[in-house]
Structure 1
């Protein structure tokens, strides 16, 4: 190689190196930016998922509160109706209050069917059926309708069953509290 070619080759390599280093720096910056954008996107997805889980948990909690309140009110109105039956003082107002409590409970139960986990719904379903059974018994006793033999429940037996609902209502509350993590202890 001649003495004029060596400086040209060195100059050429210097120019290529400078250009390559600029391209490499740009590529590394693009990769870093892509990683940063990907991380931000994943973080936003995780935040949305967390917010969705939080909103769903809050909806379930609200459903539990409403269902618990409606169940207690329904049981209370059944008891109030029973007392009115016992002293033969059932009025349209007493009937209306019981029917309103039944409608409210049905609405809360329908909401629970769409929101709560199956294990909780199983417990809730048993109480829902018992409340409605007692509603039917009391309405038949109020109307003086002769009850079928398998449904032959006296006024005293109806009261015993109404009072027995407290244990089932407590079981529902315990199951709901366990479901949302308010309590960790078992039954």
Structure 2
């Protein structure tokens, strides 16, 4: 009987220790999964913050470039363009180019499509403005046609902003966004 009791006691001790070990390993696995989940949420939150900043900067700089084009057209109507006028326009163009380049690496296709349309329109109007400024417009390029093309950029900006807002979950993209 003593051997049987010892075996039973040994099995009990091994079972108790084994149970504690299995419980500890299960808790460690659960903690590891929880940490991975938290890390995943942090990455998502960081990526959302990165997109939000990128979109705000791109929206601001594209609007400022559009405004600078409009201002430059007004200067061309009112007086001779000076170096300071050219520099202001080129600074706005450069800022927008930098923001668009950043968006190309961050934004999903649903945002990049409208952002690309804005970028192309801005580049096209910039070229028209510079040709008018040099006195070498292409066929059909006049102050009136370039002004019209510049004003049409505002609609593209609204589409881009709506896509950005929808991507960020700020809007469902179905309603108009003014300005």
Regarding TM over 0.5, the answer is: yes
2:128 pairs with 1:148: no
Question: Which position in structure 2 is the counterpart of 1:93?
Answer: 84
Question: Which position in structure 2 is the counterpart of 1:41?
Answer: 32
In the TM superposition, what is the alpha-carbon distance from 1:89 to its structure 2 partner?
Answer: 3.3
CA distance in 1 between counterparts of 2:128 and 2:68 reads 14
Question: Which position in structure 1 is the counterpart of 2:104?
Answer: 113
The counterpart of 1:70, out of the listed 61, 75, 91, is 61
2:165 pairs with 1:174: no
TM-score calculated relative to the size of structure 2: 0.94
In the TM superposition, what is the alpha-carbon distance from 1:88 to its structure 2 partner?
Answer: 2.5
The counterpart of 1:163, out of the listed 143, 151, 156, is 151
TM-score calculated relative to the size of structure 1: 0.90
Report Cα offsets for 1:76-103 as digits up to 9, x if no partner: 0000000001113321111100000000
Q: Secondary structure at the match of 1:17?
A: helix
In the TM superposition, what is the alpha-carbon distance from 1:185 to its structure 2 partner?
Answer: 4.3
Report the number of matched residues. Answer: 175
Q: Which has more radius of gyration?
A: 1
Q: Secondary structure at the match of 1:159?
A: helix
Report Cα offsets for 1:28-76 as digits up to 9, x if no partner: 1111011000001111111111111111111011100000000000000
Unaligned runs of 5+ in 2: none
**Off by >2 Å, runs of 4+ in structure 1:** none
Question: Which position in structure 2 is the counterpart of 1:7?
Answer: none
CA distance in 2 between counterparts of 1:140 and 1:119 reads 33
